[in-house]
Amino acid sequence: MIESKSFRWNECRALAALLGTVVMGLSAPAQSDEHALDTLQVHGFLSQALVVTDNNNFFGQSSQDEGSIEFTEIGLNVSLRPHQDVLVAAQVLSRRAGGNSSDAEPKLDYGLIDYQMISDQGRTFGVQLGRIKNPFGFYNQTRDVAFTRPSILLPQSIYFDRTRSMALTGDGLTFYLEQRLSNGVLRGQFGLGKPQAGDDLSDTLQLQRISGTFDPQQSTIAQVRYEHDGGRVVAAISNANVRSQIESHQSGVSDGDFYFTPWVFSLQYNQELWSVTTEYALRRSGLKNFNQSSVNFDTTGESWYIQYARRFANDWQWLMRYDSLTSNRADRNGKSFEASTGGSVPAHTQFADDLTVGLQWTPHPQVMLAGEYHHVDGTGWLPIQDNPDSSATSRRWSMWLFQLSLRF
């Protein structure tokens, strides 16, 4: 079993650095003080969901009794401009998605200093330093705010909740460029830093074959995004190169390396009352440089979804989506994987096809009610912490979700 080595920034130090920058900005002349305080913004959100499944468990013991209410998201964020070219922003997040109540302990979700070196009518160029949300696909940077999601659950084939720690944020710096064109906007981001690696990664990424500790290394992430005609057409390409050394705790097995290199291709078409969104991902991952060949592996997974959303009656929206996950393109039905485990791990753990229908009602800009139904073939994205015995899971299962979301 692989554990995560403590490598995150000391959160007190990160917050202290941010507060220090704010204090420096506020120590300027009185006019600057007034300007800085005028830009102070504080926002928050709260979401509570009920999850009910007929088989398997999702975010708690959802298949028992009346379901699970162990899906809660609470966030508080603050931003301030001590100078017209400098933004300081941070968010604390408490999130429970099954597991123990201790999982809801508030954590620094992001905390950054943003400096714009160029900002005029034609372009904006800047750099962000700190803990930064990764530009990955359409939804990753705002995925924890329910009002920014088209559904209660994002497409799990790409926006994994069971391995969210690695994709969510990184500690480092990001350069960004926005170029305004005659009929569109071109945006680019490039980040360098250390990814987070929580305890959710080991089993999900098939790393249970060795006992060891993650030691994340400098990794990169980049995205190019184009918005045409005021956002009528939006296209993006995202890529990451995530690396981590693994310190082996297993006798006779040397240290080695873990790598993860996903590509995500995103496309969206918007009209006044409806939108069509699709994303496709190739995910290459593996272990290398171990002295035992049975430990090393290289796998390419594939994910895609297509989604239709329709807005009506001003404050209602319904959605339909088909979402497909394949853990290994060379073993789409999972039969070879099942054979390699001696039949102890079912083939259906290696894929998932999900048909989703959902409905959202926003009676007030600060209140949203949502419900959705999932019919799933496969358990490829089923949370392992809620289903520790994969042999006891059902291949075909259904799920209902209901959620209340508030914001200020």
Residue 294 pLDDT: 77
pLDDT digits (tens, 9 = 90+) for 267-320: 999 999 999 999 999 999 988 988 887 788 899 999 999 999 999 999 999 999
Please name the residue that has the structure tokens 């201790």. 102
Rounded Cα gap, residues 151 and 74, in angstroms: 17
Residue 346 pLDDT: 95
**What amino acid is encoded at 351 in this protein?**
F
Give percent of the chain with pLDDT exceeding 90: 69
Average pLDDT rounded to a whole number, residues 329-342: 94
Residue 402 pLDDT: 98
Domain that holds residue 148: 2-407
Residue 244 pLDDT: 86
Closest CA to 169 of 95, 241, 110, 114: 110
Q: Are strands 256-270 and 233-248 parallel, antiparallel or unpaired?
A: antiparallel
The CATH number covering residue 186 comes to 2.40.160.10
Q: For residue 335, how many other CB atoms are within 10 A of its CB?
A: 11
Contact 328, 300 (CB under 8 A): yes
Residue 214 pLDDT: 77
Helix residue ranges, H only, 83-133: none
**What amino acid is encoded at 103 in this protein?**
D
Total domain count, the chain = 1
Average pLDDT score over the chain: 88
Residue 199 has pLDDT above 70, yes or no: no
The 3-state secondary structure of 207-268, one letter per residue: CCCCCEEEEECCEEEEEEEEEECCCCEEEEEEEEEEEEEEEECCCCCCCEEEEEEEEEEEEE
Residue 13 has pLDDT above 80, yes or no: no
Rounded Cα gap, residues 262 and 352, in angstroms: 18
Please name the residue that has the structure tokens 């962000």. 128
Rounded Cα gap, residues 28 and 398, in angstroms: 59
Q: Report which of residues 28 and 327 the model is more confident about.
A: 327
